Amino acid sequence: MATKYVMGLFKREDQAVAAIGELKASSWPLHRTHSPIPSHKISDALGLKDSRVGWFTLCGGILGFITGFALAIFTSLRWELIVSGKPVVAVVPFIIVGFEFTILFAIFGNLIGMLVLSRLPRMENLEHYDPRCSGEHFGILSSSSDEDREGLLALFARNGGEARVFE
């Protein structure tokens, strides 16, 4: 009476989508999905919410705008010289610094958000992983106890995939 992990491996996107749908309707859990391509159909089938990366980008942008202006003002106040009759803290040219920092920090925010939300970098190898998922196969990881394993294997087979049981 042991619970073992089972992975269904599919060659086609529609097979994987169908298997995800059936698995979600059943009592077997869905642990993980691997896809060799970015796929809207699969994210729809998994019912994933919209990514929250955009909020990181927005925060980065706002922070960058403030940082850019602050840097420009701070550095001019360090060297308080009036050059060609311009005020020391001049708003018009500082917009450029603020603008560039907005973009730079927005990109940093975007990158950090992407890394945080996809939990990267990951140093150790995944457990229960089939190397074919790094090739051309779609992988769907589930688990089952010994008695209803047959049903799960049948589910994967029915949708045109092969199943691998992790011992």
Partner 1 sequence: MQPDTENIAMDTRKSFWLLSAALVAIGFGTFAYGIASGHPERAWQAYLINFLLWSAIAQGAVLFSALMTTTRARWSGPLSGLSEAFAGFFPVSFILFLVLFFGSSHVFPWSHGQDLHGKEIWLNVPFVFTRNFVGLLLLYGFGFTYLYYAMLQKEISPDGSGPIRSIFNRLQQNRPQDPEKIKKRKGLFGILYLLAFALVLSLIGYDLVMAMDPHWISTLFGAYTFVKAIYIGLGGLIILAAVMHLNPRTDFRLSDSHFHDIGKLFFAFCLVWADFFYVQLVVIWYGNIPEETAYVIERTMMVPWRYLAWVTFAVSFVLPFFILLNRKIKTMPQFMLVICSVVIIGIWLEHLLLIGPPLSHATLQLPLGISDALISLGFLGLMLASLRFAFTQFPELAHAEKREVR
Taking the complex as a whole, the smallest distance from the CB of residue 92 to partner 1 amounts, in Å, to 5
Backbone dihedral region for residue 160 (phi beyond 0: left; psi -120 to 50: alpha; all else: beta): left
Question: How many chain residues bind partner 1 (CB under 8 A)?
Answer: 7
Tokens found for residue 34? 């691997």
- Which residue, 113 or 139, has its beta carbon nearer to partner 1? 113
The binding track of 87-106 with respect to partner 1, each residue x by CB under 8 A or -, is: -----xx-xx----------
Give the footprint of partner 1 on residues 71-90 (CB under 8 A).
Answer: 84-86
In the chain, how long is the greatest CA-to-CA distance? 86
Terminal alpha carbon distance of the chain: 13
Q: Which three-class secondary structure state does DSSP give residue 143? A: strand
- Provide the minimum distance between the beta carbon of 99 and partner 1 in the complex, in angstroms, as a whole number: 9
How far apart CA 101 and CA 53 sit, in angstroms, is 19
Of residues 33 and 76, the one with the C-beta less far from partner 1 = 76
Neighbours of 139 (CB within 10 A): 22
Please say which residue, 40 or 119, places its beta carbon nearer to partner 1.
40
Interface positions with partner 1 (CB under 8 A): 84-86, 92-93, 95-96
